[in-house]
Amino acid sequence: MPFPLPLDPVFRKEITWIWIHDIGDRLKLNDVEGANASWKIANEIYLSLPPGTGSPAIEDRLFQQRVKLDNVLHPTNENNL
């Protein structure tokens, strides 16, 4: 069982950023499953922040990474409309 993260919101945001960067690194290596797992971890840590301690920058970046992942996981062929 892993140790729980400290409750300090600043620390949790730093850890969230680390996981967000990991998403990009894994996508560069074409490790889509690993990137998706990293996104889930980053999102879970971010959502565990106490109310009022969120970060619009983190939320935007999580959203951007989710869109990238969804485009890779569920590609669309616009020629078949």
Q: Where exactly are the structural domains of the chain?
A: 20-48
Q: Which residue has the higher pLDDT, 81 or 50?
A: 50
Query: What SS3 class is residue 1?
Result: coil
Calculate the average pLDDT of the chain.
Answer: 89
Closest CA to 21 of 42, 4, 46: 42
Q: What is the per-residue pLDDT for 1? A: 46
Q: Which residue has the higher pLDDT, 54 or 5?
A: 54
Residue 73 confidence (pLDDT) above 60: yes
Q: Which residues of 1-18 are buried (b: 16+ CB within 10 A; e: fewer)?
A: eeeeeeeeeeebbebbbe
Q: What is the per-residue pLDDT for 80? A: 55
Phi, psi of 76, rounded to the nearest 5 degrees? -115, 150
Q: What's the CA gap between 65 and 17, in Å, rounded?
A: 12
